[in-house]
Chains A and B, each alone.
Chain A
Amino acid sequence: MRLRLKGGRVLDPANGENGVASGAVRDIEIEDGRIVAATDLKADAEYDLGGAVVMAGGIDLHSHIAGGKMNLARLLMQEDRRAFPEMPGNFCGCGGGRAVPTAHATGCRYAELGYTTVFEPAMVGANARGAHLEMADIPNLDTGAYLVLGNDDYFQRLLAAGAGQEQVNAYVGWMIEATQAFAIKIVNPGGINAFKFNARKMDLDEANPHYGVTPRKVLTTLIQAVTELGIPHPIHLHGCNLGVPGNDDTTLATMLATEGRRLHLTHLQFHSYGTEGDRRFSSSAARIAEMVNANSNISVDVGQVMFGQTITASADYMSQYRNRGLASPKKSIGMDIELDAACGVVPFEYKDKSFVNALQWAIGLELFLLVEDPWRIFLTTDHPNGGPFTTYPHLIRLLMDRDFRNAQLATLNKAAQAHTLLGQITREYTLEEIAILTRAAPARILGLTDKGHLGPGAVADIAVHTEDADREAMFSTTRMVFKNGRLIVKDGVVVELAQGTTHVARPEFDRSVEKDMQRWFDEAVGLKARHFRISDGELRGGAGPTILKCEGGAS
């Protein structure tokens, strides 16, 4: 099957091509789901793009799309489902919701925005099988999941006993394989565990009340583990003290704790709060961005707050419990999980007239605009925690259009306006930078060499947008979206459902750890290790995962 997309302006930063700037148009050729060099062969189908902007399919490296906490959110927030019923379309009766859309709606709404790959950033090992079943029911998207590690009692025990790095690596390797994970996520390093022992806060150098292990030790040990196992994505860190005014110092100390090794700090906005001003809540975006700019080992995503009703769902039960008084509507869920992790689900409405919420909004945008390297910052709202992913087009316009941004700022809480530098920042993102943030850079940091670009050999996941000076309008809809070379969205409407794949990383590790894992599961967990482990055939209805074999790094 050969397709030809004719006459598009190709925006492909990974390969240094910018047809938007040069005005040059060219064809893109697809053979059997992959992009190939142009030929004179007759195509089975041709699509005239008429000079529209052509990019690789979008990649979201941090969006909560599956797993038990999302189902708890659906259960708790039936209001969200009722308020956003099925969109018109002839597929099924199973798509609805905005903050916590169904699997079907998730796949369709993302595809309509031109996204074709999305990573669930907080898969709990105990719940991994369920998360994979759910991901298999998301149409149109390739997926993958980061395994939450670092709060599990097995790991804490290892550290408390002074286990060597090799023992840790074997455990991490075993867990990644067993849960079919793509990367390692740490959520509130050690804090979730400490909360089970009734600690209510946990700073970077505070000792776990039971194990005596500090978050710094958790972080540095796991950074070393993924480095030595050769996992392409660095540790994906949701740091200490989420949402706490004054967490800026901890965030800065966390970056320094890496000692130059790679680290990804996720939803950085929630970790960039100072305590200045009469309300003891201020923006530290400038300080944090300066540190990010100065340290090329650090990458971040923002977790931008967008105004309106949403629901927050996190493995960080400690923080979610602390914040549950802010729930709106007033209800919340918390759960300790399996000597493994936890979760907290708190509905939340971000209000533009609230000082705190307005300043959170401004802090997120300050980070976007003050971090200089577009290859090390990613466009996220931490869906749905800062806001649903369907707000991305609006966010893109905020980044690309200074007048629009300042007009929005002028409508917000007055005190918040006085506490932000945002109005003085002149930077406007270019289309090329947006393409880097949403395509090229996530593919690079995830180690997906055949995604995020349009060169020969790339997966033919392609988004075509009609250029519009109103960038929100431009990114709200797609002229065409191709998934593996199949047209799935035409003129903004899903015309076909494609079945995606699930990316997993497969490191090599010392398999002698198996015996100890069996003993742990038998004695402590009360489940057989062999039943915890997910076989390849359990993924994607028997199709199995797409495996990225890891080459061990420096040990």
Chain B
Amino acid sequence: MADVQTIENVACGFCGLGCDDLTVEVEGRQVRAKAPVCPEAARLLRRLDTADPVARVAGETASETEAADAARQILASARAPLIGGLGVDMAGAGAAVDLAIRFGGVLDHYASEGLFRNYAAAQRTGWLSTTLAEVRNRCDLLLVVGDDPSATWGRLFERFFPATPLFAGANRRVVFLGAAPGEKARGQLAGAQVVHHATEDPVAALEALGTLVAGRRPPGESFGGVGAEALAALAEELRNAHYAVVTWNAADLADGDLVATRATALVDRLNVTTRAGVFPLGGRDNIIGVNQLLLWRLGYPLRSAVRGQASSHDGTLFATEAALADADVLVWISAFRPEPPPAFAGKVIALAHPETVFDKEPDVLIPVGTPGVDHAGTVFRMDSIVSLPLGALRVATLPSVAEAVRRIAEG
């Protein structure tokens, strides 16, 4: 029997919140997280002492070299590859860009919908934003738009609202504009005053709020189902707050782009007289880091294509779903979780988490290790500023994405 090894202060790269205080037990090949940990991290860190799956080509067991050779052959004759998924650490992201430069291809991350909804606002007007440590210590009024985000980011409010902030004082308030906060959120916010304004149209409510904050009264009795008086009172609180923060998860909101636009405008108006910032939620599977790397390497964010030694960007055409319609090869990369590729008629090369369940056998399957479990790596937090070093928890038996891609590209 292997000894049980307890590793403290483990950094977690899955949801983008960037918790780095996890305690993990490792016993031989087995990994299990102990508190403090959210359910998603517990699930994604869990490893049993099972044999790794091996590479396959057309469903037949293959060596890693054979799989890399097969992938290279497919890519060499590809007309329009899509390099998708992109659940990778920074080294994996660099390798994916190298692959696009070598063979051409569109680059997108599977969770980019929310990011681009936010960019609809950001690229038109810009925005005034803030980061986690500022929220923790300065935010005295937090406006949460849409659904309770605790389902996706299990420790969000625990991280947002520590017991003893440096500046925010004892009277911290959280206003939910949308769905009601769940039990978990209420528990984590026990030290704050929690208010809920139910609405199914947060865009209308935010728009009215923006008008009110600017000192004008919008015509109407209620906005998105929230009474004008309640919104007027909230506007007054926002104006009186020292540091208000507006947060939302654009991926979960049908009108995420409009929520982002209205929230941005609201915060813009608040900053004329007091301080405030937006804190857009997102960041799953290092999407922010991959996006950062594309920006410095290609000059464009995700949903960009490299073709003929030039790159271009189109937030609509190069989104995974649209790009798949034009693609003949899909390189699907998902190292953090067993995210299966979307349905696709063309050839599929999968660099996949070992537990991935495929609807259709990929043409080439190369199982890859998980950053922060099998190998070290770097991931960005959702605020796009802070990045974390992930350590290895056990000896790797599978290649990292960077190694697997290198083997494909270098042959």
Asked if B297 and A102 sit within 8 Å, CB to CB, the answer is yes
Cβ of B109 < 8 Å from any Cβ of A?
no
Q: Given that A93-B311, A130-B380, A528-B21 are contacting pairs, would A338 and B387 also be in contact in the complex, using a CB cutoff of 8 Å?
A: no
Determine the chain A residues whose CB is within 8 A of the CB of B380 once the complex forms: 130
Determine the chain B residues whose CB is within 8 A of the CB of A338 once the complex forms: 131-134, 385-386
Asked if A336 and B387 sit within 8 Å, CB to CB, the answer is no
Cβ of A78 < 8 Å from any Cβ of B?
yes
Determine the chain B residues whose CB is within 8 A of the CB of A85 once the complex forms: 310
Cβ of A538 < 8 Å from any Cβ of B?
yes
Determine the chain A residues whose CB is within 8 A of the CB of B130 once the complex forms: 335-336
How far is it, in angstroms, between the C-alpha of A105 and the C-alpha of B311 when the chains are bound? Answer: 13
For chain A, the count of residues having a C-beta within 8 Å of the partner chain is 64
Which listed residue, B20, B127, B292, B297, touches A94 by the CB 8 Å rule?
A: B297
Asked if A129 and B389 sit within 8 Å, CB to CB, the answer is yes
Cβ of B358 < 8 Å from any Cβ of A?
no
How far is it, in angstroms, between the C-alpha of A70 and the C-alpha of B133 when the chains are bound? Answer: 21
How far is it, in angstroms, between the C-alpha of A339 and the C-alpha of B243 when the chains are bound? Answer: 13
Cβ of B56 < 8 Å from any Cβ of A?
no
**Chain B residue at minimal CB-CB distance from A340:** B133
Give A323 Cβ to nearest chain B Cβ, in Å.
13
Determine the chain B residues whose CB is within 8 A of the CB of A101 once the complex forms: 299
Asked if B299 and A96 sit within 8 Å, CB to CB, the answer is yes
Determine the chain A residues whose CB is within 8 A of the CB of B384 once the complex forms: 68, 71
Cβ of B295 < 8 Å from any Cβ of A?
yes
How far is it, in angstroms, between the C-alpha of A66 and the C-alpha of B277 when the chains are bound? Answer: 24
Q: Given that A90-B309, A101-B299, A129-B389 are contacting pairs, would A526 and B132 also be in contact in the complex, using a CB cutoff of 8 Å?
A: yes
Cβ of A153 < 8 Å from any Cβ of B?
yes
Cβ of A103 < 8 Å from any Cβ of B?
yes
> Which of B145-153, B160-168, B214-222, B393-401 contacts the other chain?
B160-168
Cβ of B16 < 8 Å from any Cβ of A?
no
How far is it, in angstroms, between the C-alpha of A68 and the C-alpha of B129 when the chains are bound? Answer: 13
**Chain A residue at minimal CB-CB distance from B17:** A526
Within 8 A of A (CB), among B365-386: 378, 380, 384-386
Within 8 A of B (CB), among A62-81: 66, 68, 70-71, 74-76, 78, 81
Cβ of A210 < 8 Å from any Cβ of B?
yes
How far is it, in angstroms, between the C-alpha of A340 and the C-alpha of B383 when the chains are bound? Answer: 14
Asked if B126 and A333 sit within 8 Å, CB to CB, the answer is yes
Q: Mark A93-119, 1 if CB is under 8 A from B, else 0.
A: 110110011111100000000000000
Q: Mark B90-131, 1 if CB is under 8 A from A, else 0.
A: 100010010011000000000000000001001111111111
Cβ of A362 < 8 Å from any Cβ of B?
no
Cβ of B9 < 8 Å from any Cβ of A?
yes
Give A98 Cβ to nearest chain B Cβ, in Å.
10
Q: Mark A396-408, 1 if CB is under 8 A from B, else 0.
A: 0000000000000
Asked if A94 and B101 sit within 8 Å, CB to CB, the answer is yes
Cβ of A44 < 8 Å from any Cβ of B?
no
Cβ of A182 < 8 Å from any Cβ of B?
no
Asked if B296 and A71 sit within 8 Å, CB to CB, the answer is yes
How far is it, in angstroms, between the C-alpha of A101 and the C-alpha of B21 when the chains are bound? Answer: 37
**Chain A residue at minimal CB-CB distance from B100:** A93
Q: Mark A315-345, 1 if CB is under 8 A from B, else 0.
A: 0000001000001001111111111100001
Asked if A94 and B298 sit within 8 Å, CB to CB, the answer is yes
Determine the chain B residues whose CB is within 8 A of the CB of A97 once the complex forms: 299
Cβ of A462 < 8 Å from any Cβ of B?
no
Asked if B299 and A81 sit within 8 Å, CB to CB, the answer is yes
- Pick the 10 closest A-B CB pairs, nearest first: A81-B299, A93-B306, A331-B126, A338-B133, A102-B299, A334-B128, A332-B126, A71-B295, A333-B126, A129-B387
A-B residue pairs in contact (CB < 8 Å), sample of 13: A92-B101, A100-B299, A101-B299, A103-B297, A126-B385, A129-B387, A153-B166, A335-B128, A336-B134, A525-B133, A527-B20, A527-B388, A530-B9
